[in-house]
């Protein structure tokens, strides 16, 4: 037997085994792939996800408290105004008092000096930093994202934010004491913050669901009326019998 084919056979076997080794390395059980891609956030049964369900407004209020005392020191919510909280988590008088605690720059006087005034209902939530450069400098180069639409801007948003909050331990979270006496556990605060951020990203959800039920009711009545009219109007034509009388 000639051995001149052994080098070619060796090269063929090496090339044939290379894809197999590569596929084995790319399986999900590989620790390297798991580290790079991460695990999907588990799905939690949020009470406002169902079709006939609505937001937990007590949870929204607690989530706003946690955001004000903890999250607002780094993260902004530039799309939310104080007036949005009226009737959702607080009364109008409470929101007015809350807005009056901040100072808002509102134009300049005759000498060109910028003056400030107490906040009003139509003012947006205050920004923690003057600009992006100041935010990056205060956070080691990282830019804290705006939280107005964070549950919509992230894949699996609500579950992602909850997993991030419960896995990231901040000593400041232990200082939060709820006004209603609810125990401020890590899971409870994470759930309340997610409820508040979900409402901030989709404040019209309850109104949209209510409008949807109204439209379904009206269209159901219209469908019944159309069905009855169709059977009444066309019953004679559809039930008639044609008889051909052929005379030889």
Please work out, in degrees rounded to the nearest 5, the angle formed at the alpha carbon of residue 92 by the alpha carbons of 86 and 94.
105
| pLDDT computed for residue 237 by the predictor | 75
162 located within any domain: yes
Tokens 């004000």 found at = 68
Q: Enumerate the β-bridge partners of residue 90.
A: 86
Q: 113 pLDDT band (50/70/90 cuts)? A: confident
CATH of residue 185: 1.10.760.10
Kindly report, residue by residue over 58-81, the tens digit of the pLDDT.
999 999 999 999 999 999 999 999
For residue 38, the model assigns a pLDDT of: 62
pTM over 0.85: no
Mark the binding-site residues, compressed into ranges.
71, 74-75
Phi first, then psi: what are they for 106, rounded to 5°?
Answer: -135, 75
- Annotated binding residues for heme c: 71, 74-75
Whether 16 maps to a domain, the answer reads no
Residue 112 lies in a domain: no
Residue 92: inside a domain: no
Count how many domains the chain has: 1
**In-domain check, residue 205:** yes
Domain that holds residue 54: 45-79+145-215
Q: Distance between CA 130 and CA 32 in Å, rounded?
A: 40
Beta-bridge partner residues of 108: 114
Residue bearing the bigger pLDDT, 144 or 5:
144
pLDDT band at 33 (very low <50, low <70, confident <90, very high): very low
- How would residue 171 be classed by pLDDT, with cut points 50, 70 and 90? low
Please name the residue ranges forming H helices in 26-143: 31-37, 57-69, 92-99, 132-138
Among 9-13, 96-100, 117-121, 138-142, which stretch is predicted with the lowest mean pLDDT? 9-13
Mean pLDDT of 212-236: 90
In a domain, residue 197? The reply is yes
Helix (H, G, I), strand (E, B) or coil at 81: strand
Residue 46 and residue 32: Cα distance in Å, rounded?
32
Task: Let me know if residue 70 belongs to a domain.
Answer: yes
Residue 158 within any structural domain of the chain: yes
């Amino acid at each position: 037997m000639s051995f001149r084919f052994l080098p070619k056979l060796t090269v063929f076997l090496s090339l044939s085994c290379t894809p197999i080794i590569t596929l084995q390395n790319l399986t999900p059980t590989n620790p390297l792939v798991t580290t790079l891609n991460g695990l999907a956030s588990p799905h939690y049964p949020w009470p406002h996800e169902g079709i006939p369900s609505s937001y937990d407004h007590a949870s929204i209020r607690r989530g706003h408290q946690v955001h004000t005392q903890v999250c607002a020191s780094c993260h902004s919510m530039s799309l939310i105004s104080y007036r949005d909280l009226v009737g959702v988590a607080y009364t109008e008088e409470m929101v007015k008092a809350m807005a009056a605690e901040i100072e808002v720059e509102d134009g300049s006087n005759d000498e060109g000096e910028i003056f400030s005034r107490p906040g009003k209902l139509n003012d947006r939530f205050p920004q923690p930093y003057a600009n992006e450069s100041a935010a990056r400098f205060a956070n080691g180069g990282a830019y804290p994202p705006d939280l107005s639409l964070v549950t919509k801007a992230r894949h699996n948003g609500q579950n992602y934010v909850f997993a991030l909050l419960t896995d990231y331990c901040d000593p400041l979270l232990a200082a939060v004491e709820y006004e209603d006496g609810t125990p401020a556990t890590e899971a409870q605060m994470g759930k309340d913050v997610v409820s508040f951020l979900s409402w901030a990203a989709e404040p019209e959800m309850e109104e949209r669901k209510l409008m949807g039920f109204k439209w379904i009711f009206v269209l159901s009545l219209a469908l019944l009326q159309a069905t009855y009219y169709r059977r009444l109007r066309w019953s004679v034509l559809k039930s008639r019998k044609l008889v051909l009388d052929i005379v030889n």
